[in-house]
Each structure stands twice: as C-alpha cells, then as structure tokens.
Amino acid sequence: MSDVAPEIDPSWLNDRTDFQKNFVSGLLNSLGLRLSYRLEHEDDGRPLVVTDWTPEDAHVGFPGVAHGGLIAAVLDDVMGRVAVLKRRWVVTARMEVRYRDGEALAGLRRVFAIWALTRPVGGTPPGQHFTAGARPKCQPSPWGASSKPSPSWRTR
C-alpha cells in the first residue's frame, strides 16, 4: 500500500467538470448509467474504489440477465478510477472478464477495484495492474475482471 497515495481527495473519483459524458459515470449523459464512486478500505487498510449498480430492464442481454458488455463497461470504469489513487489517468489497453454465470437484473451490486501487484506468469514480467470484482448483496458474484490475464482477480 505504500505506493498508493492515501491522502487522495475522494472528490477526484467523480467527474465534476463541464464534460460529464462518460457512459458509466457521466451525470450529464442521459443514456448512461450515472454511477458515482467512493473510497473505502479493505480490513487490512488497502484502498478500494467502489460504486453501486442495480441492472435494470434496459440493461438486458437475454431475458432477466444483464448484458455482459455493460457489466464489462462498469468493471472497466471502476478499474480506471482506481488509477486516481496513484494520480494517473489511464485507458484500458487489454481487459479480460470471466463470467461464471448470467447476472440477474434484480438486486444491487457493489462493484469495486484495487491496485494490485502482479507476479510473473508464463514469462510475463512483474508489474502492476487493476483488479476489479463485484458482489451482490447476500450471494457471490458470477463475474470479475482484470486489466491483464492474471489469477489474482477476485470477487468479494
């Protein structure tokens, strides 16, 4: 955690400029999800960027199931917001999402991201990446994402 700026202003997590057109979090995007982010901490003190999302009927992929592309968009956006903890703005170069099952439309989802250190896997140099996941209330989530293929992605 030493390389994450703990004194970050939580207001940096949300766009309050005149733009605000981001599909996931832009408050001025009438077709978007309009999600808002907040800073929380793991039990061990590591910072998390968190948002809450309830998929609605307009977010359907198949009857009663949220569209996987929208799930990926939310995960991508929360991973991008965690870069603010290092005072960086980033874009996604590569993202892998592992869906375990279809995500029902009903119910609030807590979507979060952390900055994680990676270990070399198959000759890949060590580095840093974003890890994101989601958790519905009272049941495990069927999806999670990582900006690099890595066994360290997780859901909470």
DSSP assignment letter at 18: S
Residue whose C-alpha is closest to residue 81's, from 90, 68, 73, 72: 90
Amino acid identity, residue 60?
V
Q: Give pairs for 85-93: CB < 8 Å, separation 24+.
A: 85/4, 85/5, 85/8, 85/47, 85/49, 85/115, 86/3, 86/4, 86/5, 86/115, 87/5, 87/8, 92/147, 93/147
Per-residue pLDDT of the chain (156 residues; tens, 9 = 90+): 444 445 677 678 898 889 999 999 999 999 999 999 999 888 888 888 889 998 889 999 988 888 989 989 998 998 888 888 888 888 888 788 877 777 777 777 888 887 765 555 555 555 555 666 665 433 334 445 544 333 233 333
Answer for the pair 70, 50: CB distance below 8 angstroms, yes or no. Answer: no
| Fold designation for 10-146 | Thiol Ester Dehydrase; Chain A (3.10.129)
For residue 57, the SS3 value is helix
CA angle 69, 50, 14 (to 5 degrees): 85
Indicate the domain borders of the chain: 10-146
What 8-state DSSP symbol labels residue 80?
H
Q: What is the dihedral of CA 43, 48, 52, 58, to 10 degrees?
A: -140
Using an 8 Å Cβ cutoff, are 130 and 137 in contact?
A: no
The torsion angles phi and psi of 53, rounded to 5 degrees, stand at: -140, 130
